[in-house]
């Protein structure tokens, strides 16, 4: 169970941030979308690196969202 994750663009800073989720979800955000772990005032969150163009933000966010919806399935048994 990956719990609920919110991925949004902060209107004030322009950063794409991801809030919530488990450690497994954090790993998926980092590997599939290139999100970085960031400490927050209430809890840790993830964000895309500063300076990405809008198209690159969209591609990375979409890749992370798809990977979160369909995490790797276990290999089929014999």
In this prediction, residues 8-36 reach a mean pLDDT of: 92
Which H or E run includes 55?
helix 54-69
Domain ranges of the chain: 5-69
SS3 28: helix
Structure letter (DSSP) for residue 71: P
Query: Tens of pLDDT along 44-69?
Result: 899 999 999 999 999 999 999 989 88
pLDDT for residue 57: 95
Task: State yes or no: pLDDT of 42 exceeds 80.
Answer: yes
* Cβ neighbourhood burial of 61 (10 Å; 0-12, 13-18, 19+): buried
Q: pTM to 2 decimals?
A: 0.80
Confidence band, pLDDT 50/70/90 cuts, at residue 76: low
pLDDT for residue 60: 95
């Amino acid at each position: 169970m990956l719990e609920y994750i919110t991925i949004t663009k902060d209107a004030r800073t322009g950063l794409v941030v991801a809030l919530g989720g488990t450690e497994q979800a954090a790993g998926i955000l980092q590997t599939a979308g290139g999100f970085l772990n960031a400490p927050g005032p209430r809890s840790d969150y993830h964000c895309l690196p500063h300076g990405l163009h809008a198209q690159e933000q969209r591609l990375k966010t979409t890749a992370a969202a798809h990977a979160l919806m369909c995490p790797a399935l276990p290999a089929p048994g014999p």
